[in-house]
Amino acid sequence: MEAALKLWHVKACPLFTELTQQQRDHIAKTVDMIELENKRVVPPPPADDPSLYIVKKGHVQLSFVDEEGHEAVVLVLGPGDVFGALTPEDQSAFGEHCRTIEGAVLCRIGRERFEALVRNFPDLAFRLTKLSFLRIRKLQVRLAEMMMKPAEVRLALALLDLSKQVGREMSDGRIKLTLPLSHADFGKLIGTSREMVSILLKKFRNQGLVESSKGWTYLRDVERLEELAGGDKPARSPA
């Protein structure tokens, strides 16, 4: 049963989708599957075995922590996203760690096993490079937003981005964010305090842009959030 589950996850991974069935069977025997409950830190790999992690199920938040323990969430990673490092230098260069937002299943591949896979399936190196560049691009955009845009715009952008990743349209037209994020979580995501997030979300609620209920966040007016996120026009208050 465990072998079948590992093969199912390998088939669903963007890194392996173009491989043959025989190739995926081989890879399923070489990867480790890790299941984590909600709000758990992803355990670091052994010091002598730098590893790549692929999110197979659920979502994790990628954070950087400074020497004083201050944490900044830079990305929310979902199924198919890759993180980790393949060299000890890359692994120790930043205080990078991931924490699950909900229960998650991860695929871990150590450096030696990945190098062996690349020797057998050279296209994997190209696909990993492509995924890595996509992640770098996301990080560049996030950095530009943090440096150049006010908190109100950053929050609107974060809400819209999350709606694409984890949004579910309700029968009444609202979009529910299916991750239970607190005001502190939003603060870490957009680089501001929990108190500022509370003020901004209250403002958004008064303007009819969002709604909160039992710990969940709903987007009520995506078009006006997009206007606010674009910085072209102020969000209009409902008549």
- 20 in the same domain as 98: yes
- 191 in the same domain as 136: no
- Give the CATH number for residue 188: 2.60.120.10
- 204 in the same domain as 99: no
pLDDT tens, position by position, 72-128: 787 888 888 888 877 666 555 444 678 888 889 888 888 888 888 888 878 877 777
Q: Give the model's pLDDT for residue 44.
A: 79
179 located within any domain: yes
pLDDT tens, position by position, 140-155: 777 777 778 999 999 9
- 118 in the same domain as 16: yes
Predicted TM-score (pTM) of this structure? 0.71
Select from 112, 146, 180 the last residue of a domain: 146
- 109 in the same domain as 181: no
pLDDT of 238 higher than 60: no
pLDDT of 224 higher than 90: yes
21 located within any domain: yes
DSSP string, 123-192: HHHHHHHHHHHHHHHHHHHHHHHHHHS-HHHHHHHHHHHHHHHHEEE-TTS-EEESS---HHHHHHHHTS
Select from 146, 166, 194 the last residue of a domain: 146
What range does the domain containing 189 cover?
149-230
Q: Give the model's pLDDT for residue 170.
A: 94
222 located within any domain: yes
Residue that wins the pLDDT comparison between 219 and 236 = 219
3-state secondary structure of 62: strand
pLDDT tens, position by position, 176-206: 999 888 999 899 889 889 999 999 999 999 9
- 195 in the same domain as 160: yes
Report how many domains make up the chain.
Answer: 2
Select from 119, 146, 173 the last residue of a domain: 146
What rounded mean pLDDT belongs to the chain? 81
- 83 in the same domain as 129: yes
Q: Are 239 and 203 in contact (CB under 8 A)?
A: no
100: alpha, beta or left, given left = phi > 0 and alpha = psi -120 to 50?
beta
